[in-house]
Amino acid sequence: MRSWTSFHALLAAFAFWTALSATAQGPAKVYGDAEEYYERGNYEMAVKKSVEVLRIKDTHRKAQELLQQAWNTFLTRATGAIRESQVAAEDLEGSARVRQLQAVVDSYKRIIDLRGECSTVAHIVLKDTGRPVDIGTNDYYAEWQAAREALKNGESAAADYHYARGLEFEKAGTMEQYKLAAREFRQANLNSPGFKDSRVRYETNRAKATKRLAIIPFENASGRASTVLRRTSSRTR
């Protein structure tokens, strides 16, 4: 029992000194990582690493400056990408439009999450300006919620769009059209699981698209050539 207790005591001591050593040596290494991310254009990671430095040493002047620069650049680019996706979505239909709307939602969530990282050190006063780290007053939650609602509506509209196209292909009645119909009904179900009877129609059209008749010659018992109709399949996704 004593040896077990002693082992845990040694383990705890080792963990403590390891953590202490990492804290003492950490800022320079982590700041180097932050600079590298910034130079590569990964401003999101540059922000995270700068914050990590400041959690260890809040007086690290270079990390303060890099945090502000990286955050400003990240925010500018993220909001620019959001505008581009919103404009692109206006000219698209179906799943293509949903992808753009999803990109908007994801971008707002990244801004919110990164802003949360920055808020943990926002009280730090920048040495060169004497002002706190400026991450703005907008928390972007309202924009995120609006984007999520737009995505939800877009998914419903996309399901309608693909379902209607599926019906059009289905009416044509050819194998190729059945294949296209199956794909459209599948997209309708992906955008809105359980949408109408899209799943059933997908399975029905997929089955029709995979069946065909093949004429295969064979020899019968009389030695005369004959033919047989055999049902084969050609799979489609």
Q: What's the number of domains the chain is made of?
A: 1
Does 65 fall in a domain?
A: yes
Does 180 fall in a domain?
A: no
SS3 33: helix
The CA-based angle 111-130-66, given to 5 degrees, is 40
pLDDT tens digit at each of 237 positions of the chain: 444 455 445 545 544 443 444 454 478 999 999 999 999 999 999 999 999 999 999 899 999 999 999 999 999 999 999 999 999 999 999 999 999 999 999 999 999 999 999 999 978 888 778 888 899 999 999 999 999 999 999 999 999 999 999 999 999 989 999 999 999 999 999 999 999 999 999 999 999 988 754 445 545 555 554 544 455 554 545
Does 9 fall in a domain?
A: yes
Does 144 fall in a domain?
A: no
Does 208 fall in a domain?
A: no
> What are the tokens at 42?
């990964």
Does 94 fall in a domain?
A: yes
From 139, 114, 125, select the one nearest 54 (Cα to Cα). 125
Does 2 fall in a domain?
A: yes
Does 60 fall in a domain?
A: yes
Provide the domain limits for residue 53.
Answer: 1-139
- Residue 7: CB atoms within 10 A of its CB come to 10
